[in-house]
Amino acid sequence: MSTADRLYGLLSSAGGSELPVRILAWDGSVAGSPGAPTVEVRSRRALRRLLWEPNELGIAQAYITGEIDVPGGAGELAAGLRAIWQHARTGAGTGVGAGPIRMSAVQKAKVAAAALRLGAVGRRPAVPQSQARLSGNLHSKDRDRAAISHHYDLSNEFYSLILDESMAYSCAYYDGLREDDPNASVAPTEDLFKAQRAKLDLICTKLGLRAGMRLLDVGCGWGSLSLHAAEHYGVQVLGVTISRQQHEFVGKRIAERDLSDRVEVRIQDYREVREQPFDAVSSIEMGEHVGEGNYPTYSARLFENLRPGGRLLLQQMSRRADAAPGGGAFIENYIAPDMYMRPLSQTLNFLEQAGFEIRDVQALREHYARTVADWLDAFENHYDEAVAMVGQEVARVWRLYLIGGGLSFEQGRMGVDQILARRPLR
């Protein structure tokens, strides 16, 4: 029996059924269904890692370190992940993202014997350097700054390889995209930049922005909405972020566009904003970072920041009730530590408890699948530059993140919604 046959048998036994992939072992042997996506297991260390972490995190760590790979690049990796997810969803196996693999005593004995024959038994491998290492109380201000820095402070230059020129790091809006088909074609001229501008206009229109109004942009990112609202709608904007890289970037754009009389951006926690109430408040894909315990505080602060009759536009990711609150072990450890998502109904409940009247909800899940596909295309076109900037390990983290995130929206495990709410007059 070849090494690949032993590997395939071991992994299938651990998962409860035959895997929907081919295995290419470190000695060149191959096993599995012809034509299926190929997973290359480059070393015994990869198998040892999976024995210690027999779930999504172990597979992610082995891929990040290059101990396993998928020949053929991003397209083949996406096909492999899609096949494994389908395998898990149909009940054929536990699969990536479906929680820890649970084996009977007999299965464990068979897996241990096979691993011993393959020379894979040994000490737990060290975690990759790119894994987040946070300390302190969950969602304290210091820990939140560290979590945001881990995700957003790789460098402005790195994010410019992925995002469009507006540096909008949130779901775009593709006019004409059919809700029943995330891959439906749109007008050839509607590229990512146009779709992001359409999203910004959609937000400004829902908020009813006009010249002279004051907007608070909570979690302003690289300033796409703050700058757009000031330039095209004539409003006065205060944007807040706790990312130093983002603050530096927006400051330069404010100066370049001569908007210092209309836009101010601060390094400031949302809990520290104490200005007079604003005419409108926006918070675009920032609520995922405040945590479950702090969400009532977050909702209350958004309410207090609005004048009576003022509007809130909250764009936020959601999850199915049976999905991981933070997006799964990989995202929670390598991309957005301490992130928390909930079903849409729970977010609406928090806002109503804070005093808001919900006026409109628009689901944009299919638009996020398309947005992430555009980000992935840009990233792959600049992959060598990304490696030069952040190293091979972090580049592989981001390739896996973009592909996996896109599949989450495509398959409905995650969603994103624009919520328009209003502070009542009395």
**Quick one: average pLDDT of 98-114?**
60
pLDDT digit string (tens) for 230-250? Answer: 999 999 999 999 999 999 999
Examine the domain organization and report whether 253 and 366 are in the same domain.
yes
Quick one: how far is CA 136 from the chain centroid? 23
Examine the domain organization and report whether 242 and 105 are in the same domain.
no
Task: Answer whether residue 130 is part of any domain.
Answer: no
Q: Is the pLDDT of residue 28 over 90?
A: yes
Examine the domain organization and report whether 113 and 173 are in the same domain.
no
- Which of 68, 85, 117 terminates a domain? The answer is 117
Q: What is the pLDDT of residue 16?
A: 64
Examine the domain organization and report whether 75 and 214 are in the same domain.
no
Q: What is the pLDDT of residue 109?
A: 64
User: How many distinct structural domains can be found in the chain?
Assistant: 2
Contact status, residue 219 vs residue 286, Cβ threshold 8 Å: yes
More confident site: 194 or 142: 194
Examine the domain organization and report whether 112 and 160 are in the same domain.
no
pLDDT digit string (tens) for 369-412? Answer: 999 999 999 999 999 999 999 999 999 999 999 999 999 999 89
Examine the domain organization and report whether 89 and 180 are in the same domain.
no
Residue 95 pLDDT class (50, 70, 90 cuts): very low
Indicate if the alpha-carbon torsion angle 180, 182, 185, 186 is positive or negative: positive
Q: What CATH number is attached to the domain comprising 225? A: 3.40.50.150
Examine the domain organization and report whether 44 and 154 are in the same domain.
no
Distances, alpha carbon 114 to alpha carbons 6, 248, 305, in Å:
7, 54, 61
List the domain range (segments joined by +) for residue 55.
3-117
Query: What single string gives the DSSP state of each residue in 208-267?
Result: T--TT-EEEEET-TTSHHHHHHHHHH--EEEEEES-HHHHHHHHHHHHHTT-TTTEEEEE
Q: Is the pLDDT of residue 425 over 90?
A: yes
- Which of 117, 133, 159 terminates a domain? The answer is 117
Kindly report the average pLDDT of the chain as a whole number: 88
- Predicted structure pTM score: 0.89
Tokens at residue 195, please?
A: 């779709």
Examine the domain organization and report whether 67 and 172 are in the same domain.
no
Examine the domain organization and report whether 242 and 93 are in the same domain.
no
Least confident of 29-33, 309-313, 374-378: 29-33
